[in-house]
């Protein structure tokens, strides 16, 4: 009964806010029409009969140091270690934000969340079950781009880009969705298929196994057509749940059990690609949406030698594992090139023969030559936002912090004037401020921040509470 109530009411709210939705739909159709026209321009890369398929495996709150192949001593991840050994493992790969909602809002449209209103401020850093906001329909997601090229698209797992119907995955270019609408510590946590609630609350011990089964089914059903599979795992975000098969097995405790179950899931998905003969025409990416949630102590992960974790613009908050696998195309390598989840949209679009939107700022770049040819990436600035504030920038080995705040421990930000300067290659743990020795570097990076700020146009914040009918209804649920 609860299930029906939820679904019906969501639809009711959608009707109630119809004018907003209609406006959004009009904007969406307009942007889609222009991008269809653009998408026909480039041909698929020469000699390629069929564009490649893509699998993005996105862990939640998994730290830089939580996998065997990134140095964890007691969490066993043989499948991810093999994936890294056969593919390219990046040691300086970033998520574009240090918490869930903005991180996802960056990956899918390839734009910093400040541009879409999907980064917030205290107290709302992410979307909540009573948040009426979501990823605006005017954003063009990777799924929408690829769908125009004939791709089948599936979203499996945690969404967290808006829970009203008009914000759900199938309104953003996905043919199907099986998963939860927001974090697993937000009550209630329904499990949904498409826009219907399957169970409420979701039985969390089963989620990783069921996501995996859905992923394998989707791969097997789509042998004939190129596809995008975006699998955003619910874990190891707390509360932690592992299935019977994995619980109590890892020397690292429950956190290790959960990560080892994710590893087994990755193993099954890669094996499904091999078994269907699709492995040599599929690029698989494994990464995480932000660093470890350190205040959860034993239930939180590890950033390895990086400083701090989730919620901060210190390296541990945003530098994450980044593994790219495509047998026969990507040669085994460990690379130090700096790249981020913002690069996925332009890279995958290029590989698919799709063109990217030109009517807006994209914040990443095509890194396919790094992946396929080993060509080094040029230095470019990487920006670290804390909520809606630009706190830090990296270019080459250098990083300045003008502000710092570890969200879950520090109530207010600390301003650094002059900024702190670290050489991240010599000092990956950000221990030794060398600003006094390199005033020219500090000045150059401050200029990069200023130039970047000039490109940011104000948009309505999607994370703030509103006082409209949808919000009132969501609050009462």
**Residues acting as catalytic residues:** 100, 160
How buried is residue 214: exposed, middle or buried, by Cβ count under 10 Å (0-12/13-18/19+)? buried
Residue closer to Ca ion by CB (options 60, 430) is 60
Cβ-Cβ contacts under 8 Å for 22 (sequence gap 6 or more) = none
| Helices and strands (H and E) in the chain: how many | 12, 14
Residue closer to Ca ion by CB (options 101, 402) is 101
Q: How far apart are CA 46 and CA 49, in angstroms?
A: 8
Residue closer to Ca ion by CB (options 61, 263) is 61
What DSSP letter does each residue of 398-439 carry, written as one string? EEEEEEE--TTT-SS-EEEEEEEEEETTT-TT-----GGG-H
**Closest approach of Ca ion to the CB of residue 124, in Å:** 15
Which 8-state DSSP code applies to residue 331? P
**Closest approach of Ca ion to the CB of residue 100, in Å:** 4
**Closest approach of Ca ion to the CB of residue 211, in Å:** 16
**Closest approach of Ca ion to the CB of residue 158, in Å:** 8
Residue ranges that bind Ca ion, judged by CB under 5 A: 60-61, 100, 289-290
**Closest approach of Ca ion to the CB of residue 423, in Å:** 28
Q: How far apart are CA 203 and CA 189, in angstroms?
A: 9
**Closest approach of Ca ion to the CB of residue 173, in Å:** 22
Per DSSP bridges, beta strands 227-232 and 53-59 are parallel
Beta-carbon count within 10 A of 475 CB: 14
Give CA separation, 432 vs 191, 413, 423, 424, in Å: 46, 20, 8, 10
Under a CB-based contact definition with an 8 Å cutoff, are residues 313 and 319 in contact? Answer: no
Which 8-state DSSP code applies to residue 378? P
Nearest to 105 by CA among 80, 67, 131: 131
> Helix, strand, or coil here: 38?
helix
Under a CB-based contact definition with an 8 Å cutoff, are residues 312 and 100 in contact? Answer: no
**Closest approach of Ca ion to the CB of residue 61, in Å:** 4
Which 8-state DSSP code applies to residue 186? S
Residue closer to Ca ion by CB (options 259, 354) is 259
Residue closer to Ca ion by CB (options 240, 354) is 240
Residue closer to Ca ion by CB (options 242, 318) is 318
Q: How far is CA 9 from the centre of its chain?
A: 29
Residue closer to Ca ion by CB (options 121, 374) is 121
**Closest approach of Ca ion to the CB of residue 104, in Å:** 9
What DSSP letter does each residue of 108-147 carry, written as one string? TTTS-GGGTT---BTTBSS--TT----S-TTS--HHHHHH
Which residues partner with 333 through β-bridges? 88
Which 8-state DSSP code applies to residue 278? -
Under a CB-based contact definition with an 8 Å cutoff, are residues 39 and 32 in contact? Answer: no
Under a CB-based contact definition with an 8 Å cutoff, are residues 102 and 310 in contact? Answer: no
Residue nearest to Ca ion (CB): 100
Which 8-state DSSP code applies to residue 30? H
Q: How far apart are CA 14 and CA 3, in angstroms?
A: 17
């Amino acid at each position: 009964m609860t299930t029906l109530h939820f679904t019906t009411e969501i639809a009711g709210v959608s009707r109630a806010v119809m004018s907003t939705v209609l406006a959004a739909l009009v904007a969406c159709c307009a942007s889609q029409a222009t991008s269809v026209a653009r998408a026909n321009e480039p041909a698929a890369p020469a000699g390629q009969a069929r564009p490649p398929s893509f699998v993005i495996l996105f862990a939640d709150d998994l730290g830089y140091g939580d996998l065997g192949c990134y140095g964890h001593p007691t969490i066993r991840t043989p499948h991810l270690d093999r994936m890294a050994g056969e593919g390219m493992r990046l040691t300086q790969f970033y998520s574009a934000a240090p918490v869930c909602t903005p991180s996802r809002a960056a990956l899918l449209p390839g734009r910093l969340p400040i541009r879409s209103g999907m980064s917030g401020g205290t107290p709302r850093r992410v979307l909540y079950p009573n948040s009426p906001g979501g990823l605006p329909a005017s954003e063009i997601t990777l799924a929408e781009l690829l769908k125009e090229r004939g791709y089948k698209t599936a979203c499996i797992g945690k969404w967290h880009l808006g829970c009203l119907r008009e914000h759900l995955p199938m309104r953003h270019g996905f043919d199907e969705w099986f998963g939860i609408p927001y974090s697993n510590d937000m009550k209630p946590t329904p499990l949904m298929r498409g826009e219907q609630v399957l169970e409420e609350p979701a039985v969390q011990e089963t989620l990783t196994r069921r996501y995996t089964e859905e992923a394998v089914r989707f791969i097997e059903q789509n042998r004939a057509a190129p596809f995008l599979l975006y699998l955003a795992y619910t874990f190891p975000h707390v509360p932690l749940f592992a299935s019977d098969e994995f619980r109590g097995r890892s020397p690292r405790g429950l956190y290790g059990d959960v990560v080892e179950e994710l590893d087994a899931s990755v193993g099954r998905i890669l094996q499904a690609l091999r078994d269907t003969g699709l492995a040599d025409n599929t690029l698989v990416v494994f990464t995480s949406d932000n660093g470890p949630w350190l205040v959860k102590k034993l239930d939180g992960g590890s950033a390895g030698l990086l400083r701090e974790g989730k919620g901060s613009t210190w390296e541990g908050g945003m530098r994450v594992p980044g593994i790219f696998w495509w047998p026969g195309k990507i040669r085994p390598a460990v690379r130090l090139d700096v790249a981020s989840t913002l690069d996925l949209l332009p890279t995958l679009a290029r590989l698919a023969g799709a063109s990217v939107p030109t009517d807006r700022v994209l914040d990443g770049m095509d890194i396919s030559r790094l992946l396929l040819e080993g060509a080094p990436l040029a230095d470019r600035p990487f920006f670290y936002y804390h909520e809606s504030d630009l706190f830090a920038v990296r270019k080459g080995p250098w990083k300045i912090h003008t502000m710092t705040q570890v969200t879950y421990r520090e109530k207010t930000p600390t301003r650094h004037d002059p900024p702190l300067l670290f050489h991240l290659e010599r000092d990956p743990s950000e221990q030794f401020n060398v600003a006094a020795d390199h005033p020219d570097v500090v000045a150059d990076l401050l200029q990069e921040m200023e130039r970047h700020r000039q490109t940011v146009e104000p948009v309505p914040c999607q994370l703030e509470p509103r006082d409209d009918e949808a919000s009132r209804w969501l609050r009462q649920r």
